[in-house]
Structure 1
């Protein structure tokens, strides 16, 4: 029996996939637990329409991420912090502080988890911070640390 999976089933397939299983397994497990539906012509057409809609939404999200990345590339966040001898900061600049400053200065909502800091910023100067907006889109935000 051919079945369209409604959710991921271990060792069988992923959501939206068309799989061929035995009649008993389909009736007693997949259909009864609502993990899938029978692959009729109507259900196959619905699946095709749903996939087309998901592809359209994914393309739209990618385009929005690209536009936001262009906006971020032009932006600059300035942080004024206490500095000790030799231009060293007391502590370090975290992604949370950068996200908060971007919200205050630029009105940009950046998720602190999306900011990629390979090493914490511990000195005065300009640093480029990567922002992962989408699996295919990464933007560079310029962070300027100044002495208070």
Structure 2
């Protein structure tokens, strides 16, 4: 029996996939629990349309991702920090400060939980951070810690 998965099912497949399953599994579990629908001609047509829409959406997201990356790579972010006499900063630079700097200097709102600082930032200087945009798309951003 062929079914079209509506949502991800462990050990079977992802959403919007056409899979072969045993008749009892499809009729008694997948279809009643709204995890799948039967693969008849009208549902297959809907699946193709849905895939086209997802492809357009993915293309639009990729174009937006590329524009954000180009803006982030134009120049390094500048983050101010209070320092002692030896150049060491009080505390350290966090992802919250980097997210605020991106919002103020570049004009993009990025969630702080997506930002990962590669090195410990305890002194003035240049550092790198990774921003995870999801679906395996990461970008490295340079930032400079300067005295406030």
Would you tell me which structure has more strand in proportion to its own residues? 1
- TM exceeding 0.5: yes
1:126-145 superposed Cα distances (whole Å, 9 cap, x missing partner):
22333333545444433222
User: Which of the pair has the greater relative contact order for Cα pairs under 8 Å at 6+ separation?
Assistant: 1
Equivalent runs, 1:9-28 vs 2, <5 Å? 9-28=9-28
CA distance in 2, matches of 1:127, 1:119: 7
**Other-structure match for 1:79:** 79
CA distance in 1, matches of 2:83, 2:14: 53
Asked if 1:29 corresponds to 2:41, the answer is no
Normalised TM-score (structure 1):
0.85
**Aligned partners of 1:69 and 1:133 also within 8 Å:** no
Number of aligned residue pairs: give it. Answer: 148
CA distance in 1, matches of 2:140, 2:27: 52
SS in 2 for 1:74: coil
Would you tell me which structure has more helix in proportion to its own residues? 1
**Aligned partners of 1:116 and 1:131 also within 8 Å:** yes
Tell me whether 3-12 or 67-76 shows the greater mean CA deviation: 3-12
1:12-46 superposed Cα distances (whole Å, 9 cap, x missing partner):
33222222223332222122222111111111111
Normalised TM-score (structure 2):
0.85
**Aligned partners of 2:103 and 2:110 also within 8 Å:** yes
